[in-house]
Amino acid sequence: MKVIEKFADEVIAAGSFEPLDRVYLINKIRALVGDHEEDASNSLPAAKQLVDLAVRNKKIADDQTSREVLNDQLYDLMTPVPSRVNYLFWQKMQESSKEATSWFYDLCVRNNYVKKEAIAKNIVFDGTGKNGHKLEITINLSKPEKDPKAIAAAAHDTGKKYPKCALCLENEGYLGGYGKNARSNLRIIRMTIAGKPWGFQYSPYAYFNEHCIFLDQKHEPMKINEQTLINLVDIEKQLPEYFVGSNADLPIVGGSMLAHEHYQGGRHVFPMMKAAIKQKVEFTSYPDVDAGIVDWPMSDLRLSSENTSALINLGTQIIKIWDHYDDEKRQIKAFVGKTPHHTVTPIMHREGEKFVLDLVLRDNNTTDKYPLGIFHPHQDLWHIKKENIGLIEVMGRAILPGRLKAELEEVKKYWLGESNEMAESHLAWAKAIKEEHKIDAGNVDQVMQQAVLDVFERVLQDAGVFKNDEDGEQGWELFINALKEDID
């Protein structure tokens, strides 16, 4: 069978076209890839073969961006239009939210919006850090490197952008191009969150199972306040099988998309969500809410209750107090002039009828000694992790840069006494580990995994405002007393 015909049959089988549409569909595909046909191969997806065919037919340039744009155009043909996707999703929601989300996720995998093949390249492992915290590591190899033509296009793009950002609703069906994301096959579920119009989609380069994004339909900056907690509760009521959380709303401690209000969620239980309470805290004004300090490298105050109004009210008070809380001894300062430096990373999940809210305290102050942040990975860890600590990492899953795949192989060669090209940045760390362990070919991978887990645990400790030591316990005690004084 010819590859164009093969793909046309796959599109019809997916249900967005009928058999009667076959000739029409073949001509649609020909318009995209050219009239010259080739036999189909069973070893590669038909869409990938068509992209290669389009290059040979000179329908597209042979570069990463052009290939991505065409790939998504082809997969768009086998995807129902947004109105149909939304109709089917909400029909399934009448049965159960789990059935609806599973169906929508499967659709986004089948239509190649969720890049399963790319995601499978990531290096993933888990274990326990030196101080006993369960952690997960991901070395991110799924996102392709930036296309040089796309970088050049972005540098010269001085006009108004459409869409305004990668999270805007206007991305749905957007062709894309150099410096612009290809989104022809993107579908967004329209939903109402706390009475306002929002969207729900999946992440193309997911960091965990069913990694999804909830986006405000308006392009407005992120803000952590009472409305955030109201929104998280409403999402949990609608999709109880998912956790949902927000990046902090300040630079350094926040995510990379502060210009557009959004949350992340998915079907994954993170290490922090399983961490125990190490110290209970009682708020007498809120007898329906269980509270406590979590045994975690970062500074996490957990609230849980079936009474969502009480949970929202107490959580809001804690956020407001932290927003103005100072502790000079521990370099914790809420404002410098009129510039705020405190916020939280709020995360919510369900345990049956109980709503569980983690409020992770964040401070983005800098000093000459810590120019990237006092509560940010310190310089001796930058050889492994220099980037911001966002929502996913707060919960115990590291997103480490792809460069480490090759770099850590060179470190292992160094440990084994083999010829190597180890980066100078890893030398002090690699030497210290080599002195601590007897490393051979049989245990080198295990030693490396443990060493990376230990670094990530330290990364989270650096990001914690109250450290897991005697001084940190004193800091927690002062803050808890300040909370009780205002709340009770």
Whole-angstrom Cα distance, residue 176 to residue 406? 31
- 394-423 average pLDDT score: 97
**3-state class (DSSP) for residue 398:** strand
pLDDT of 488 reads: 83
Report whether pLDDT(307) > 80.
Answer: yes
The tens digit of pLDDT for each residue in 31-83 reads 999 999 899 998 899 999 999 999 999 999 999 999 999 999 999 999 999 99
CB atoms within 10 A of CB 187: 25
Residue 327 DSSP label: B
pLDDT of 414 reads: 98
pLDDT grade, residue 13 (50/70/90)? Answer: very high
Average pLDDT, the chain: 95
Report whether pLDDT(151) > 60.
Answer: no
The tens digit of pLDDT for each residue in 165-220 reads 999 999 999 999 988 899 999 999 999 999 999 999 999 999 999 999 999 999 99
Whole-angstrom Cα distance, residue 109 to residue 204? 9
Whole-angstrom Cα distance, residue 118 to residue 140? 10
Report whether pLDDT(158) > 80.
Answer: no
* Buried b / exposed e along 468-480 (16+ C-beta atoms within 10 A): beeebeebbebbb
Whole-angstrom Cα distance, residue 42 to residue 198? 41
- 101-119 average pLDDT score: 96
Report whether pLDDT(23) > 70.
Answer: yes
pLDDT of 156 reads: 59
Which position has the token pair 């502790």?
Answer: 327
Pairing of strands 300-305, 290-294: antiparallel
pLDDT grade, residue 148 (50/70/90)? Answer: low
User: Which one is predicted more confidently, 299 or 158?
Assistant: 299
- 463-478 average pLDDT score: 97
pLDDT grade, residue 255 (50/70/90)? Answer: confident
The tens digit of pLDDT for each residue in 274-294 reads 999 999 999 999 999 999 999
Whole-angstrom Cα distance, residue 341 to residue 333? 7
CB half-sphere exposure, 179, CA atoms < 13 A = 14
pLDDT grade, residue 147 (50/70/90)? Answer: low
Report whether pLDDT(153) > 80.
Answer: no
Q: What is the percent of the chain where pLDDT is above 70?
A: 97
C-alpha of 379 from chain center = 24
Q: What are phi and psi of 305, to 5 degrees?
A: -170, 155
- The residue extents of the domains of the chain are 1-60
pLDDT of 160 reads: 77
- 359-386 average pLDDT score: 96
- 336-347 average pLDDT score: 97
Report whether pLDDT(154) > 60.
Answer: no
Q: Which two tokens stand for residue 72?
A: 């998504």
